[in-house]
Amino acid sequence: MKIPYGKHTISQSDINAVVDILRSDYITQGPASEMFERQVASYCDSRFAVATNSATSALHIACLSLGLGPGDYLWTSANTFVASANCALYCGAKVDFIDIDPLTYNISIEQLKQKLKNAENEGKLPKIVMPVHYGGQSCEMAAIYKLSQLYQFRVIEDASHALGGKYKNTKVGSCVYSDITVFSFHPVKMITTAEGGMAVTNCENLFNRLKLFQNHGVTRNECLMEKRSKEEIWNYQQIVLGFNYRMSDVHAALGLNQLKSLNKFVKRRNEIAEYYTDNLEYLNITCPKILQDILSTFHLYPIRVKKTGKNSVSQKWLYNVMQDENINVNVHYIPVHRHPWFEKLGFKKGDFPEAERLFKEVLTIPIFPTLSKQEINHVIRVLKRHLS
Ligand SMILES: *Cc1c(COP(=O)(O)O)cnc(C)c1O
C-alpha cells in the first residue's frame, strides 16, 4: 500500500466509545454531541460551540449567522479548499480572494491592506474576511483583527487544519481576534468524527443563530418565538430557514474520545516536521517556515520544489517519482479561482500569482501521528536520492 499524505488514528478505545453509544438510548441529539461541544469549546477557550455534520456546513451557517447575503462580499485565501469559498456562494453572496504570503502560504497582510484600500474607494468592502490557517499555521490574526476594526468587516477563521494550534499564547478557536472559528473533523484533519465539523464563538447571540441554522431554523426558546394566542402556541417554532446540519451522537462519541489524544497528535506531528526539516532543508527545496509565537499543528508538511539551482527538478517529475516509490504526495492547493466553476464566475489565470506559483511548486509529503520511523526515513531517502 502507498503511504498516504494524511491518515486518521483510530484506537481501540475510539472503537469502544462508538460501540457504547450504539448500545445506548440516543444515537443522535443525545448527550454525546452536547458534551463534545462543551469539551471543544473548553479546549480552545471559547464560550460556545455548535457541532455540525461537516466543516463545510459549519462555514455555511457561520456566514448566515453573520448576515451574509446577496450583494455582500466574502474574501478568503486563494490557497485553500473550495469549501472556504463555496459557503459564501450558498448564501447568494459574492466571493473574492486574497493572494498569499510567499513565506507562510497564508493570506498576505500587505495584499489584504491594499485590497481593502482599493475596495473602499470602489465602495465594495467585504462583509466577511475568512483567513485560512494553511497546514495548521495560524494566520497573523492580530493584524487581521486591527483591519477588521478599521474597515468594519467580520472575521471567520477557517481553522479546519488548526485544532490544537496556538497563536500568541491564545488557542486557535479562542476567537480573541475573530467572530467565529470553524474546525473540520474529516479523517485527514487533526482529530476525526469520520465526517464532522464545529463552529465556536464567544458571542451568545451568534451562538443562538448558529444553533438555529444548524437545526431547521427551529427554536424552543420562548423569547425567540413569535407571539401567538395560547391555543396556537406549541413548544417549538420555525423562525428562519435552517438546515439539518447536526452531528449525530455516534460521530460525537468518536470525536469526544479522539479529543483526549489531540495534544499527543499535535506533539507527534511537530516531531515529524522537525525531523523532516532537519534532514531536508539543505536540499534544493523549501521547507515550511513557522512564524514566532505560533504553534502549528502540521496538518500538512508542504515542500516547495525550486525550478532553478543545483539538482533542480520539476514538481510533476518529483510527484511521479514519489508515486512510483509508493509515497502518495499531494498538491495543496489548486488555487480556488482556477477551478472551472470559479473561472465561470470571471476569475482567471494570473489573478493571484503567489498562490499560482505555490500550486506549480508545492508537494505535501506524508505527515500523520502513526507514520512510522521507517516510512519517514523512506520519504527522506527518496527525496535525497533525487535532489542531491
Ligand atoms: C477540510 C477542509 C474544509 C472542509 O471540511 P469538511 O469537514 O470536509 O467539510 C474546509 N476548509 C478547509 C481549509 C479544509 O481543509
Model pLDDT for residues 313-350, shown as the tens digit of each residue: 899 999 999 999 999 999 999 999 999 999 999 999 99
Span from the CA of 160 to the centroid of ligand 1 (angstroms): 5
At 306, the pLDDT band (50, 70, 90 cuts) reads confident
Evaluate if residue 71 carries a pLDDT over 90: yes
Distance CA 104, CA 111 (A): 14
- How many beta carbons lie within 10 A of that of residue 369, not counting itself? 17
Task: Give pLDDT, residue 351.
Answer: 98
Length in residues, the chain: 388
* pLDDT tens by residue, 144-196: 999 999 999 999 999 999 999 999 999 999 999 999 999 999 999 999 999 99
Ligand 1 pocket test, candidate residues 59, 184, 336, most atoms within 8 A of CB: 184
Q: Grid coordinates standing for 168?
A: 500568541
* pLDDT tens by residue, 262-279: 999 999 999 999 999 999
Residue nearest to atom 6 of ligand 1 (CA): 55
pTM beyond cutoff 0.95: yes
The share of the chain scoring above pLDDT 90, in percent, equals 94
- How many beta carbons lie within 10 A of that of residue 311, not counting itself? 11
Task: Give pLDDT, residue 348.
Answer: 98
In short, whether 160's Cβ falls inside 6 Å of ligand 1 is yes
Mapped onto helix, strand or coil, the DSSP state of residue 301 is strand
Whole-number average pLDDT of the chain: 97
In short, whether 158's Cβ falls inside 6 Å of ligand 1 is yes
Ligand 1 pocket test, candidate residues 54, 81, 300, most atoms within 8 A of CB: 81
Span from the CA of 225 to the centroid of ligand 1 (angstroms): 33
* pLDDT tens by residue, 81-105: 999 999 999 999 999 999 999 999 9
Span from the CA of 11 to the centroid of ligand 1 (angstroms): 23
At 231, the pLDDT band (50, 70, 90 cuts) reads confident
Q: Which atom of ligand 1 is nearest to the CA of 196?
A: 7
Span from the CA of 59 to the centroid of ligand 1 (angstroms): 9
Ligand 1 pocket test, candidate residues 185, 186, 300, most atoms within 8 A of CB: 186
Contact yes or no for 286/299 (Cβ under 8 A): no
Evaluate if residue 233 carries a pLDDT over 90: no
Task: Give pLDDT, residue 330.
Answer: 96
Among the listed residues 173, 169, 176, 183, the one whose alpha carbon sits nearest the alpha carbon of residue 144 = 176
Ligand 1 pocket test, candidate residues 56, 132, 156, 254, most atoms within 8 A of CB: 56
In short, whether 53's Cβ falls inside 6 Å of ligand 1 is no
In short, whether 83's Cβ falls inside 6 Å of ligand 1 is yes
Task: Give pLDDT, residue 279.
Answer: 98
In short, whether 54's Cβ falls inside 6 Å of ligand 1 is yes
At 378, the pLDDT band (50, 70, 90 cuts) reads very high
- Indicate the DSSP class of residue 247: P
Distance CA 198, CA 52 (A): 6
Which stretches within 215-314 are classed as H helix? Answer: 249-259, 262-280
Distance CA 240, CA 258 (A): 34
Which residue in this structure is represented by grid cell 499543528?
297
Span from the CA of 197 to the centroid of ligand 1 (angstroms): 8
Q: Which helix (H) or strand (E) holds 128?
A: strand 128-130
In short, whether 132's Cβ falls inside 6 Å of ligand 1 is yes
DSSP for 44-65, please give it. Answer: TT-SEEEEES-HHHHHHHHHHH
Which stretches within 66-220 are classed as H helix? Answer: 83-90, 109-122, 141-151, 204-214
Q: Which atom of ligand 1 is nearest to the CA of 185?
A: 7
Separation in Å, CA 298 to CA 33, 244, 313: 27, 32, 25
Evaluate if residue 5 carries a pLDDT over 80: yes
Task: Give pLDDT, residue 1.
Answer: 86
Distance CA 60, CA 57 (A): 5
Residue nearest to atom 10 of ligand 1 (CA): 83
The stretch 12-38 carries a mean pLDDT of: 97
Contact yes or no for 198/37 (Cβ under 8 A): yes
Span from the CA of 83 to the centroid of ligand 1 (angstroms): 6
Q: Grid coordinates standing for 364?
A: 505535501
In short, whether 219's Cβ falls inside 6 Å of ligand 1 is no
* pLDDT tens by residue, 114-143: 999 999 999 999 999 999 999 999 999 999
Distance CA 190, CA 269 (A): 10
Contact yes or no for 9/268 (Cβ under 8 A): no
Task: Give pLDDT, residue 227.
Answer: 87
Span from the CA of 277 to the centroid of ligand 1 (angstroms): 26
In short, whether 297's Cβ falls inside 6 Å of ligand 1 is no
Span from the CA of 60 to the centroid of ligand 1 (angstroms): 12
